[in-house]
Amino acid sequence: MTQTNRPLVDDIAYVLIDEAELKRRIEELGETIRTDYAGADDLFLICVLKGAYIFLADLSRALARPHQVDFMGVSSYGGGTKSSGAVQIIMDLKEDIGGRHVLIIEDIIDSGRTLAYMQRNLAARRPASLRICTLLNKPSRREVEVPVDYIGFDIPDEFVVGYGLDYDQLYRNLPYIAVLKPQIFS
């Protein structure tokens, strides 16, 4: 990992989704999910680490209804900027999801391989329902179709960072979604 003393914003080509847009859309997602799960007693959110943790925190507050949270570490990227295709569970759930209404919270869906793998894995654990919510969706990169129930934003095929998304474990703390300058990762 390369650490730097220069400001991270110097590595940004442009802001794709600003803080106000993120906040507005997450409030809308929270309202939609709250309505859709109005009759469900047991809503269980699974945060896909590491990238979705900031999105989860804001969405959790926007839900304004009881729910539980657990975390799952899944990787298909390694240290690169494109999915390797080989999916690994790095950290599994601590809770049993059998009979529960499960909502997977993801930061970005690119090839679809990671979510397809997670969906098969979690469905085998027999939840009452299993849905997917992603902050960002890159439909142009899809290799494996997965049914996504809630999408924050469809985005172009750009390498994005911020709001939990990283490159080389940096940029997660930026309060917006930005396109990284290509010379940083090439």
CA dihedral 49, 17, 153, 135 (to 10 degrees): 20
DSSP assignment of 25-74: HHHHHHHHHHHHTTT-S-EEEEEEETTTHHHHHHHHHHH-S--EEEEEEE
Catalytic residue among 110, 149, 154, 166: 110
For residue 96, indicate whether it is catalytic.
no
Q: What are phi and psi of 168, to 5 degrees?
A: 55, 40
Which of 105, 106, 131 is closest to 40 using CA atoms? 131
Specify the residue for token string 């997977």. 104
Q: Which residues are catalytic?
A: 110
